[in-house]
């Protein structure tokens, strides 16, 4: 089963809605890979002893992991946190998330600064490269359980846009896209 992704219709409706264009414009795994986004589909029921997950972790150096349950009942200041996650930002390191239950959306910018919405659901492991502009929100089910993976000690520092001079952003532009972006 492959991940679902599409170009977003930008509007002021609830951020938790799919925001498909009419007609929908889907994005392939190859198109996501061209942006540096990596994807695996795993069995979320065996994450504790999954040889495929262990191989990915070993091959990519993901030595630290923790769990995150996001829902109104389990997160203090839920609306504020969701708003913060939905603010466009980059990180100095990869963002690695493995969805074990529930669902949500990662939005990433393509090379022309258009939003691509990526639906993640149970079994989806996604890696966003350091320096890619992105944001996250839950869908209308308001629940997701994520495994967060890190290389070494966990660092989760968001640098809100604009960050064109940030070393991770410059590295992303040069290595992944190989060209200057159209800044908008």
| pLDDT per position as a tens digit, 31-85 | 999 999 999 999 999 999 999 999 999 999 999 999 999 999 999 999 899 899 9
User: How many angstroms separate the CA atoms of 101 and 85, rounded?
Assistant: 19
pLDDT digits (tens, 9 = 90+) for 90-99: 999 999 999 9
- Under 8 Å between Cβ of 90 and 159: yes
Which DSSP letter does residue 8 get?
B
pLDDT digits (tens, 9 = 90+) for 118-139: 999 999 999 999 999 999 999 9
Mark the binding-site residues for Ni(2+), compressed into ranges: 89, 91, 95, 134
Query: Can you give the pLDDT at residue 184?
Result: 47
Mark the binding-site residues, compressed into ranges: 89, 91, 95, 134
Mark the binding-site residues for Fe(2+), compressed into ranges: 89, 91, 95, 134
For the chain, give the percent of residues with pLDDT over 90.
87
182 has a pLDDT exceeding 70: no
Average pLDDT of the segment spanning 1-24: 93
Query: Can you give the pLDDT at residue 58?
Result: 97
- Under 8 Å between Cβ of 120 and 42: no
């Amino acid at each position: 089963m492959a991940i679902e992704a599409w170009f977003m219709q930008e509007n002021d409706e609830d951020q938790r809605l799919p925001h498909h264009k009419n007609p929908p414009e889907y994005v392939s795994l190859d198109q996501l890979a061209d942006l540096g986004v990596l994807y695996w589909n795993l069995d979320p029921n065996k994450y504790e002893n999954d040889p495929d997950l262990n191989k990915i972790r070993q091959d990519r150096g993901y030595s630290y992991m923790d769990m995150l349950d996001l829902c109104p009942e389990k997160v203090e200041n839920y609306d504020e946190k969701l708003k913060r996650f939905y603010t466009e930002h980059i990180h100095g390191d990869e963002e690695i998330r493995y969805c074990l239950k529930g669902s949500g959306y990662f939005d990433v910018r393509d090379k022309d600064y258009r939003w691509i919405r990526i639906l993640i659901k149970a079994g989806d492991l996604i890696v966003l490269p350091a320096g890619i502009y992105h944001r996250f929100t839950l869908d209308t089910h308001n629940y997701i359980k994520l495994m967060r993976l890190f290389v070494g000690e966990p660092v989760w520092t968001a640098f809100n846009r604009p960050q064109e001079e940030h070393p991770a952003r410059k590295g992303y532009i040069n290595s992944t896209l190989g060209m200057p972006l159209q800044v908008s």
